Structure 1
Amino acid sequence: MSDGIETTWRPRSAWAGIASIVRHGRPGSEPGLTLTLREEFGLATLIAAKGRTDALRQVLEDLYGWSLPDFGAASLTDEQGLVWSGPDQWLALFGTRRAMAGLAQAVRGLAAVTDQSDARAIIRVSGRDARAFLAKGLAIDLHPRAFQPGQVAVTSLAHMGAQLWQRDATPTYDLAVARSSAGSVWSWLSHAADEFG
């Protein structure tokens, strides 16, 4: 901290004290589902200033090689990129918080930037049963004809606000929820996963 002020506060994962790393469900067989806690990522909300979307698009392309995704889409390379969140709004994802440094300055006057790294909890859901598992609690159709890699939904999971994007055809999904609901989300996820192993 600045000015010589010391503190006992330390950053902690959104999943700390909530999620336990164990195997659930069917014993003795390959798991149909894997839940991976996402930590140490950088995450920011970008909201384009009125009439500045084209200029924002150019800066993000020049700086990161990113393109602004259209309605309901994500533009990701590995652990970085943009996820549509609403009209002229996106989540900017970075593999680390350090990689996010300089974003606000780079888009100054083009977009409002709010660091969401500590405000969201993200979990990766993958495996052959991922689609059936998520369908138990999501209010959207996850059939491959309706929802494919690169698509995004702002929806609810078991009546809790959530944002979901499909990463690949395995299928693998990333699920983002408010940090304040991480405990309730984990409770639902761990119980809903029992049948899949």
Structure 2
Amino acid sequence: MADPASAVRRSALSNVRVPGDFGATPFNGPGIHLAERAPLSVVQVETGAERTGELIEATGTTLGITPSQVPNAATGTGRPRILGTGTGRWIVVEPESRDLAGILRAALPESTAVTDLSHARVCLRLSGREARTLLAKGCSIDLHPDAFRPETSRMTSLFHSAVLIDCRSAGPVYDIYVHRSYAVHLFEMLLDGALEFGCRVA
């Protein structure tokens, strides 16, 4: 039997994500840049509303950044970054380098549910001058820069897939987290929608 600890994670997009330029060739370069962020540690932490203060304090002590209690707010630079997804619930994300889930289980109050989603999520980074226009083709949230600003995250539907979108910068740059089983569908829909603007896949 293979040792689980020696298993290498295989991208859900390994058979479809081909680097290169696709679609139109605007004089000022592709309007869309699309890439997969991997490997990432993605861990959900959740507790009851009455225990959020304990969770926030313990998280800040352990990771050096504090989750925001403001709905849909994101904190941190990405090493790690914490995305608010609901009352008493956050997603902690960082480049994979340590047992993030194990560290959080050991440090957070026993009342906290810690769920490792690293193998169950794919993260696509969408950027470029037409990134906001492309997102608007597939989701109904208000994407105006005044409404969906950097340090904001949203749970929504994008091209019929449930996603968590993290606005990283006003560039605009978005990180899109999707269930692994829908990753190919979402990647292909984003690429298809980007062809009119020109799309560079990294």
Matches within 5 A, 1:50-65: 51-65=50-64
TM-score normalized by structure 1? 0.91
Q: Secondary structure at the match of 1:77?
A: coil
Deviation at 1:49, TM superposition (A): 4.1
Q: From the superposition, tell whether residues 102 and 16 of structure 1 become closer, same or farther in structure 2 (CA, over 3 Å).
A: same
Match of 1:132 in 2: 133
- Equivalent residues of 2:16, 2:184 under 8 A apart: yes
Q: Sequence identity of aligned pairs in percent?
A: 33
Matches within 5 A, 1:140-151: 140-151=141-152
Q: From the superposition, tell whether residues 28 and 148 of structure 1 become closer, same or farther in structure 2 (CA, over 3 Å).
A: closer
Higher relative contact order (CA 8 A, sep 6+): 2
Deviation at 1:79, TM superposition (A): 4.2
TM-score normalized by structure 2? 0.88
Deviation at 1:76, TM superposition (A): 2.1
- Unpaired segments ≥5 residues, structure 2: none
When structure 1 is superposed on structure 2, of 10-19 and 55-64 the one drifting more is 10-19
- Equivalent residues of 1:43, 1:97 under 8 A apart: no
Q: Distance in 1 between matches of 2:78 and 2:153?
A: 16
Q: Distance in 2 between matches of 1:73 and 1:99?
A: 25
Q: Secondary structure at the match of 2:118?
A: coil
Q: Residue type matched to 2:104 in 1?
A: L
2:2 equivalent to 1:6: yes
- Unpaired segments ≥5 residues, structure 1: none
- Equivalent residues of 2:165, 2:175 under 8 A apart: yes
Q: From the superposition, tell whether residues 171 and 99 of structure 1 become closer, same or farther in structure 2 (CA, over 3 Å).
A: farther
Q: Distance in 2 between matches of 1:28 and 1:130?
A: 15
Match of 1:48 in 2: 47
Q: From the superposition, tell whether residues 28 and 68 of structure 1 become closer, same or farther in structure 2 (CA, over 3 Å).
A: closer
Q: Residue type matched to 2:108 in 1?
A: V
Q: Distance in 2 between matches of 1:183 and 1:133?
A: 17
Q: Secondary structure at the match of 1:144?
A: coil
- Equivalent residues of 1:73, 1:151 under 8 A apart: yes
The structure richer in helix per residue is: 2
Instruction: String of CA shifts for 1:97-138, please: whole Å, max 9, x gaps.
Output: 526141211114141111001101110111111111111101
Q: Distance in 2 between matches of 1:54 and 1:39?
A: 31
Q: Residue type matched to 2:52 in 1?
A: T
Deviation at 1:27, TM superposition (A): 2.3
Match of 1:112 in 2: 113
- Equivalent residues of 1:80, 1:93 under 8 A apart: yes
Q: Distance in 2 between matches of 1:7 and 1:165?
A: 35
Q: Pairwise CA RMSD of aligned residues? A: 1.8
Match of 2:25 in 1: 27
- Equivalent residues of 1:150, 1:167 under 8 A apart: yes
Q: Secondary structure at the match of 1:52?
A: helix
